[in-house]
Amino acid sequence: MFATHFYSGSDRNMIMKECFLRGAGRQFPVWVAIALGGVLFFGRCANQGMPTGGPRDSIPPVLVESTPAMRCTGFTGKEIRLTFNEYIVPDEVSEELVVSPPLTKRPSVRTKSKSLIVAFNEDLKPGMTYSMDFKNSVADNNERNPYPGLRLLFSTGDQIDTLRVAGMVKTAARLDPQEKIIVMLYASHEDSAVTRTVPDYIARTDSRGLYLFDNVKPGSYRLYAVNDANTNLRYDPGAEEFAFCDSLVVPSAEFVAQPDTLAVGADSLLITGHTLFRPDPIYLRTFTEEFFEQYLDKSVRDTRNKCTFVFGEPVSDTLGLRLLNQEADRWYLIEHNPEWDSLTVWITDTLIARMDTLQLEVAYNQRDSVQQTFLQRDTVELLFTDREKQDTRRRRRDDGAPQVTLFSFSDNIKTAGFDLNLPIRLQTPEPVGQFDFGAIRLHALSEKDTTLLQPSITRDTTEWRTYRIDWPWEAEATYLLEIDSAACTSIYGVVNQKVRKQFTTQKEDFYGKIILDLTPTSEPLIAELLDPSKEEKLLRSLPVTGGNRVTFDYLPPSKYKVRILFDRNGNGRWDPGVFTSREQPERVAYLPEIVKVRSNWEKVFQWDLKPDPTFPKVLIDKEEEEQRLKQQQEQQRRDSEREREIPDGEQGFPMPGRF
């Protein structure tokens, strides 16, 4: 299933097929040779022009010999040699080749004529079965057609170990297949082995995330996967994607006999069967551990009044800023992101803002090598110089009055089709010192009159410098928002411009609705609505409360993905795993359909959330499937019409039976 072996029955058939297609050893009847010669001769006479060069070579190279042979025992050589039926390109072999058990030094790769030679730069271990997995790295020289799944097994002992461990590696948060992930088997059961020692066996996942060990000795093993960014064949916590299997892996094989029921009346019963390998395929989910690594990553002065600090970890517990070249108290205001690892420092003291150079001591919590907390103090120097000397004097208008600096609100208002489920959001460019909500007026307009409304106006706690105006909007209604000038004043004394915006709301039947009926679970659930792109941007998130029905309403016509987070610890977000306590990452599940929402449309999805050890992610786009089916049917119709248009006798000369 996972490997292609040399000289297996399928390979012999493939080689015979390639020889047949390429004319190797083919014996033609005399009359066929004469007929073909006549067609070629007269065809050449009738068509004068440049030769086309023939059809493009699309046939991969064929392996004709290997030294050592597949499943050879007692191997004592220093190199292996694979000979093909044509010249090959080894450019990707050094990068793609995986040797298991792993080697300390990478082998040397070269070609000689039509042979690929891999030379070992160290002695192989005695009594071990080695696998050499080339993936698709060997290709012919003409058209770069790859030999698919090239793999060689041989032993330095007197027997071949043939036990298998196979499966798939996926990302834990998105369940996407992980390509080129190193999968490792350790005979040591200590958790520290994966961070300190080289594994006993390694494999690398292919483009589908599949991995295979087929040369394993009997025993019990720990199974891990890592992206191995630094190629040291170990796991570096917090710096690499990682996955682990919960239980020990004990590979085994059993021959399952099956009597041949067709051999009726024979003197002896013919017994056939197959080998059953255990365990079943093991699915691993990769994650990056939340490893504490604190540092000041960025410190920059964006403007005279604004500085940006970025840290490796949150600094909500302890953060201190102290000026070293100026004595000052309460000279700044901090604005932070939700994670508290990116901060904007607004300088509120005008004397300090005028300084071109700021020398700061930044204090924050740090941990030492034994994870004890201490106060780290960094000294930074922030520079800012105006490009052009600004005229600090207040400009005067033509009438002699001072000209006041104004700012404009940013908002989410659409003049037509404003969403019924959204509040109006107002955002200021600088922190607010004072805001008179009484200077905000919302009107409902109609042909007959104008009604002054009393909406809810609050500061948004999730987004800085943002204010919400909430009202139960009516469909296809017209509203007017007015804000007096100087209703809002920033901490720098800058006031807002006057606002007057008229808008209409969306039609009720413009929207669609997705309803989820979920099977009961013991874990808290979070339903997420995602866009259909590869990035899967989060559009909306709803906790599953009050039963197991979730409704995403007021959805604009579009395509959506739906995901469920199994919020094991109830903190409202997805959490990766913790290897030291052997906690797997929190589970996610995808609705197996990309939902096409239409206007005035709703659909209920029955969703069984029982655990699936394969962690499937098969998203069917029914619209694309229908289009693909229509295209296939149209192509079949065209082919049938072309066949009917060809007159009798011009279908080409008949081919005889098999050669």
> Under 8 Å CB-to-CB from 27, ≥6 apart: which residues?
659
Question: What is the rounded CA–CA span in Å between residue 657 and residue 63?
Answer: 29
Locate 652 and state its tokens.
């080409």
pLDDT at 280 over 90: yes
Q: How many CA atoms lie within 13 A of 542 on its CB side?
A: 18
User: In order of start, what are the domains of the chain with their CATH numbers?
Assistant: 9-41+57-155 (2.60.40.1220), 163-286 (2.60.40.10), 296-383 (2.60.40), 406-509 (2.60.40.1220), 511-623 (2.60.40.10)
Integer Cα distance of 202 and 495 in angstroms? 65
* CA neighbours closer than 13 Å in the CB half-sphere of residue 310: 4
Q: Could you read off the pLDDT of 224-239 as tens digits, one per residue?
A: 999 999 999 999 988 8
**pLDDT for res 5:** 35
Which of 27-36, 40-49, 63-72 is least confident? 27-36
Interval 18-25 mean pLDDT: 35
Residue 399 pLDDT class (50, 70, 90 cuts): low
β-pair type (440-445, 450-453):
antiparallel
Give the Cα separation of 351 and 371 in Å (integer): 41
Q: What is the pLDDT of residue 188?
A: 97
State the amino acid at position 106 in one-letter form. R
Farthest CA pair distance, the chain: 121
Q: For residues 518 and 548, is the Cβ–Cβ distance under 8 A?
A: yes
pLDDT at 648: 57
Residue-level pLDDT at 2? 37
pTM: 0.79
> What gap in Å lies between CA 106 and CA 122, rounded to an integer?
9
Q: Can you read off the two tokens belonging to residue 384? A: 């800012």
Which whole number is the average pLDDT over 635-648? 79
Residue 94 to residue 134: CA distance in whole angstroms: 9
Strands (E), 586-628: 588-590, 595-597, 601-607
- In this prediction, residue 21 has a pLDDT band, given cuts at 50, 70 and 90, of very low
At 260 the pLDDT is 66
- Phi and psi for 62 in degrees, rounded to 5? -110, 130
What is the structure's pLDDT at 638?
A: 87
CB 175 within 8 Å of CB 615: yes
- Give tens-digit pLDDT for 534-583: 999 999 999 998 778 999 999 999 999 999 999 999 999 999 999 999 99
* CA-only gyration radius of the chain, Å: 35
In which band, very low, low, confident or very high, does the pLDDT at 54 lie, cut at 50, 70 and 90? low
Residues ≥6 apart with Cβ < 8 Å to 350: none
Burial of 647: CB neighbours in 10 Å, binned 0-12, 13-18, 19+: exposed
**What CA–CA distance (Å, rounded) separates 415 from 504?**
6
Instruction: Tell me the C-alpha distance between 149 and 201, whole Å.
Output: 19
Higher-pLDDT residue of 263, 526: 526
Across 354-366, average pLDDT: 94
With CA atoms as reference, report the closest residue to 479 among 510, 511, 453. Answer: 453
pLDDT for residue 652 is more than 70:
no
- In this predicted structure, the answer to whether residue 191 has a pLDDT above a threshold of 90 is yes
pLDDT band at 262 (very low <50, low <70, confident <90, very high): low
pLDDT for residue 356 is more than 90: yes
Quote the pLDDT of residue 33: 36
The pLDDT of residue 295: 93
131-140, 498-507, 631-640, range with the lowest pLDDT: 631-640
Average pLDDT, the chain: 86
